[in-house]
Amino acid sequence: MLARVGESLYWMSRYLERAEDTARLINASTMLLMDMPRGASFGWEGLLNVVGLDKAFHELYDQASETAVMSFLIQDERNPSSIFACVRHARENTRTFREVLPRESWEWVNELYLYTSTHLASALDRRKRFEVLSEVIRRRQTLVGLLVGTMSRDEAFQLMRLGRNVERADMTSRVLDVSYAINLPYENSQYYDLIWMSVLHSLSAHQMYRRHVGVHARGHKVLAFLLDDLKFPRSVRHCLHEIESALGGLPPGDEPRQRVQAMLNQADQADFRKLAKNGLHDFCDNIQTSLAELNVIINRTYFRVEQPQKKMTQSQSSQA
């Protein structure tokens, strides 16, 4: 696998995961907002904090109104993490490595792009939003299904799996971090359960949580589920195991493996009852920093190829 192509695959996968996660997050937030008392502190600004784009937003817009935030997160090309920008970026990347993916994947990424370029504008309107964003999610999931169902577990596959899980772990930790801060003032109120349910919703985790944990969304249990559950595919621990396993399918490289192992060791020591009371922000922050470092290490290990130093010629060595 060419290093350049490997890097593109990794990022293509990250961008598509980001587009899908953002769509899920917006859908859940829109639903939650309809349940909240008017003037509740969970507003559109909060959503910007979750994705870490509050600064970038305010460079372009004044007010964090619903229309402005939706436009920024969904279709604004100036925001490289907007759903549209992510899909377009993924499509441009996919063009350059059609030879390593199943033939249909380019068609489906291209169709996803054509869909977003014609339909995303209507997602600014609350009445259409759910439908359009769900379609984005569905199309992206179809693509993942195609790859899982038809691709050999080769290096290309592992790099995409790596990108998907690095991005997903990052998103889960962000959603938790920010929602938790927003939720604190509502402790003991009627909205408490509701907001935690919404956190689960935004990560598409509510159904599995109900089945495997319980019907009530309690802070520390939600934390444990989203950070530490072995079986839920969006929990940070599950993502780390996926990353570990994907690295196993790539050419040898000690550094990335050691870093993931260190992150798993840290997770082993977490006490979620304590974290639910305080320290969650630092904990999540730590996850995000470690993922960023892992990203640098992956880049160095697989995508930057060292050329051997020029061998000294006969005459040079004799002079030396």
- Residue numbers at the binding site for other proteins (CB under 8 A): 1-6, 92, 95-100, 103, 106-107, 110-111, 114, 155, 159, 250-251, 302-303, 305-308, 310-311
Q: How many CA atoms are closer than 13 Å to the CA of 217, on its beta-carbon side? A: 23
Backbone φ and ψ of 235, nearest 5°: -70, 150
The C-alpha atoms of residue 26 and residue 162 are separated, in whole angstroms, by 24
Nearest to other proteins of 2, 292 (CB atom):
2
Nearest to other proteins of 263, 298 (CB atom):
298
Instruction: Report in angstroms how near the CB of residue 9 gets to other proteins at its nearest.
Output: 10
What is the dihedral sign for C-alpha 13, 72, 78, 52? negative
Instruction: Report in angstroms how near the CB of residue 163 gets to other proteins at its nearest.
Output: 13
Nearest to other proteins of 117, 122 (CB atom):
117
Residue of 238, 236, 241, 233 whose CA lies nearest to 257: 241
Instruction: Report in angstroms how near the CB of residue 114 gets to other proteins at its nearest.
Output: 7
Instruction: Report in angstroms how near the CB of residue 295 gets to other proteins at its nearest.
Output: 15
Nearest to other proteins of 130, 303 (CB atom):
303
Instruction: Report in angstroms how near the CB of residue 83 gets to other proteins at its nearest.
Output: 20
Instruction: Report in angstroms how near the CB of residue 168 gets to other proteins at its nearest.
Output: 22
Nearest to other proteins of 5, 53 (CB atom):
5
- Contact status, residue 176 vs residue 226, Cβ threshold 8 Å: yes
Nearest to other proteins of 59, 306 (CB atom):
306
Total residue count of the chain as it appears in this document:
320
The C-alpha atoms of residue 24 and residue 107 are separated, in whole angstroms, by 23
Residues 6 or more apart from 9 whose CB is under 8 A from it?
Answer: 93, 97, 100, 156, 159, 160, 163
The C-alpha atoms of residue 149 and residue 303 are separated, in whole angstroms, by 27
